[in-house]
Amino acid sequence: MLFPQATWSGPLPTTNYLPGGMEQIIGLVLHIEEGTEPGTDTWFHTSGTQVSAHFGNPKAGPLQQWVDTQDMAYAEVNGNPNWISVEHEGNSGDSLTPSQIENDAQLLAWLVQSYGITPQITNDPTIGGVAGHVTGGAAWGDHLECLPLDTTEFLAKDGWLPLRDAKVGMKVAGYNLDQARWQLTEVEYVVPPYLADLVWCGGLEMTEEHSVYVWERAHGKHARIMPAWEAVKLRANAFFPYVAPSHDAGVPSRTRWKQTPRRYKTPDLRSQVPVSCLTTKTGTFVARQNGIPMMVGNCPGPPIMAQRQQIIDRTLEILNPPPQIKENPLKIVCKLLTPSGNGAYYIGSDGSVFAVGDAVYRGSIGQLNPGLPAGGSNAATLDRPIASACLSPSGDGYSLVGEDGGDFNFGDAKEVGNVYTALGGHPNPFAPATVPA
């Protein structure tokens, strides 16, 4: 199916998706393009790349749809048959824009209605909901930046802790790349452990996609973040800075960088090792293995992973809009008690009359105009709304008085004159008139 709010940008070459390949759809997977929307669109339309996604979500503007939801996009390997995929313009560490959150929420609401997807956060590839590419681990393409659980520690506020002890909300040491300073930051997400192959990079073990902060001698001593596999290719031309902070109560206050060249070797590469990682608000944290500390980057996905709840909350608003309270044009202008006190008349601004208790209904404006129902809303028969009313002396009738002085009598209430007669029969009491002496 095609999402009505998306711009159709297909079809893609058939090498890049599988027509009719979707099975039971259980959820929505959030991806990061690591680039621009036009660049991603060009890549998906290139025959033979064997990659695609169902939707693209630019930083501004509507969604575009590359693949029909009945067809299988090539986005998360083993997850492809059961998950709808949406790529987001931007890079790892970027937050979703308000437009992207709204687009995701509108899409999720449509998927809930079309396929019965449960609007919930899921970090389990077997449970439906809103997931990230990191959710599926190696089975979804090993698209994670992780470190081995058995040898890695991270620098928390209270000192070094095993990576397996990381929890959301913890305060840890992070480096603010924008402000070029150390600061405490908060853990936003912890990757569920999974098995992965490792590479050696700067004396540390990590998955090959893990980000490392590298000082490149070959590029004018320019420091930048890059994946481990790229850093390994630089070999002796790269210096891997590692931090030796002095701190008070675990809080880094001063940093001394050492540009230490590390020759690359591959001693006993390990395969299928339990790994995990964490994500912080600054995009970096400090890890160490075998006493060697190093600043490393987040696993990809968050802060997009941390924004899933915003998407779900907005989706629920779309699916369950607050009831629209329509203003009732009828306004009750007065209440008349019966002589016994056991009944009352409620008089509406449109001339309607509602009798309760021992009050006896004697008629309303509607009865003065044949064909209109008695006691109904008949404002069309009035030049001006009813402003007040009173009972007759016996209590067996009532008079309704309009804002313009019009007098309407029911039951034994009698016409004894009105503003029109007092003003000499002038049709508009609000227009200039001479009152008879």
The SS3 call for residue 296 is: strand
The SS3 call for residue 253 is: strand
pLDDT of 4: 97
Phi-psi region of 424 (alpha: psi -120 to 50; beta: other; left: phi over 0): left
Residue with tokens 């320019």: 222
Residue type for position 248: D
pLDDT of 91: 73
Q: What are phi and psi of 337, to 5 degrees?
A: -80, 145
pLDDT of 288: 87
The tokens for 169 are 């909300």
The tokens for 114 are 């079309």
Locate the domains of the chain by residue range. 7-142+308-319, 147-297, 332-422
Class of domain 7-142+308-319: alpha beta
Distance CA 311, CA 306 (A): 10
pLDDT of 11: 95
pLDDT of 174: 80
Residue with tokens 């991806």: 31
Distance CA 92, CA 34 (A): 7
Burial of 372 (0-12, 13-18, 19+ CB in 10 A): middle
The SS3 call for residue 196 is: strand
Which of 367, 340, 344 has its CA nearest to residue 355? 344
With 0.85 as the threshold, say if the pTM is over it.
Answer: no
The tokens for 301 are 């996905």
pLDDT of 213: 54
Burial of 322 (0-12, 13-18, 19+ CB in 10 A): exposed
Distance CA 229, CA 233 (A): 7
Q: What is the pLDDT along the chain (437 residues), one digit of tens a residue?
A: 999 999 999 999 999 999 999 999 999 999 988 789 999 999 999 999 899 999 999 999 999 999 999 999 999 999 999 999 999 998 766 789 999 999 999 999 999 999 999 999 887 889 999 998 877 766 787 556 788 999 999 999 889 999 999 998 899 988 765 666 778 888 877 877 878 888 777 667 887 766 665 555 544 444 555 556 566 555 434 444 433 333 333 333 333 333 333 444 445 678 888 988 887 777 678 888 887 777 776 665 556 777 888 999 999 999 998 887 777 677 899 999 999 999 999 999 888 999 999 999 998 887 665 444 433 333 445 778 899 999 999 999 999 988 888 888 899 998 777 666 655 554 544 443 333 43
Distance CA 31, CA 8 (A): 19
Answer whether CATH 3.40.190.10 is correct for domain 147-297: no
Contact 54, 86 (CB under 8 A): yes
